[in-house]
Amino acid sequence: MTNEIQSQCTACAHLNRTADSQTCEAFPEGIPEEILTNQHDHHRPYPGDQSVRFELAPIPEAKREAVAS
């Protein structure tokens, strides 16, 4: 069995979830590989991030209810 670690970006409130490419408020031209692959923890500053850092996205009510039951 292979366990894959997801990118920190998937849980970030700033991720552009409607774009075809991997972009966010911090990196509208594309998220750097170091952040996508968790080599850099984006709770800390990263060059060019416009002072936008990782912020946990809220969990939708439907998902919270599914986990609770």
- pLDDT tens digits for range 58-69: 987 766 666 666
What's the pLDDT at 36? 97
The residue with greater pLDDT, 4 or 33, is 33
For residue 33, the surrounding DSSP H or E stretch is: helix 33-36
Interatomic CA distance for residues 25 and 53, integer angstroms = 9
Domain ranges of the chain: 1-69
pTM of the predicted protein model: 0.80
No. of helices (H) and no. of strands (E), the chain = 2, 0
